[in-house]
A and B are shown apart, each in its own frame.
Chain A
Amino acid sequence: MSADASSTFIASEPVSISPPTGAIDDAAELVSMAGREAWRKVVDCTLIEWGARPEQLAEAELIPPTRPAVQRAIQIAESFRESSAPPPMRVVPDGDGGIVMERWTETTMRSIEIDRDGCAELVMTRDARVIERIRL
């Protein structure tokens, strides 16, 4: 994953930081710790579980995540965690062997789409229209 793609994902977040004080620094650190913990849960509680037992998700409507998709998702999640990126608001199978991790605001959505082969794209939509798609 490129540094540019990572920063694009981070930049989508509504960040509002007032002039630094000790209390605000502490709060920011807590937020950062919470974000890293959320990413850890994504890896440990969701992605590793899907990799170990993909059949639990299988349905007529849903082809479970493949091993390459899970491996790439873990790689990306760990990279974003290390860069203190905000955690995803949703991590779901894409229904065709891939995985989608996403954050959104009222009108925009940024998704990391990982396909069954482990290829990943950062996709931004506004009012449900795709306005940017970047290969990671």
Chain B
Amino acid sequence: MPALDPHDLIDDDEIVFRRVSEKSGWYDAKSSRPVAWTAFKPNSNDHDGVSVWRAKYQSAADVAAIGARPGTRYFVLAIRVSQLRSAGAQIVPTPVSGAAGHASISSLRVDAYHESKDAVRALAERIANEIIEPVEGPFGPF
């Protein structure tokens, strides 16, 4: 894993991307609530939090392609960091090998969910309903 650059803190004015597959149904442009809160519910692998990618390092199209499954299309949800923080979410860089700009919404960790389902659910729903910037895509199929 690349070393964390202590000077590469995430600024409030940055945008981060969250990828969702078309098959998941987590984004539906025709819905009165287009983004499902489940897009931000941590799963059992989200020990550091829900994964996002920093627009400073990756375009939306790049994010869609990272580890894409063949034949799958993806939407990319854009979120402004200042709005995430205003909602009470914490976001931290979590570098990974092979691609720059990975970060995690650390308030949405799997252990936090099991400790307080209501609080994590509320935060996920608020992010989905209120603070998504324009959605990009679909990208693919890859």
Contact = CB atoms under 8 A, between A and B. Distances in A.
Contact of B69 (A59, A63, A95, A100): A59
Given A59-B69, A60-B67, A90-B25, A95 B118 contact: no
Interface in A54-80: 56-63
B135 interface: no
Given A93-B38, A128-B126, A63 B121 contact: no
B49 interface: no
B20 interface: yes
B142 to A, nearest CB: 12
B125 A56 contact: no
Nearest to A59: B21
Interface string A23-48: 00000000000000000000000000
Majority SS of interface residues in chain A?
strand
A121 B41 CA distance: 16
A100 B20 CA distance: 16
11 contacts: A60-B51, A61-B20, A63-B44, A92-B24, A93-B38, A95-B24, A95-B43, A100-B36, A109-B125, A128-B125, A128-B129
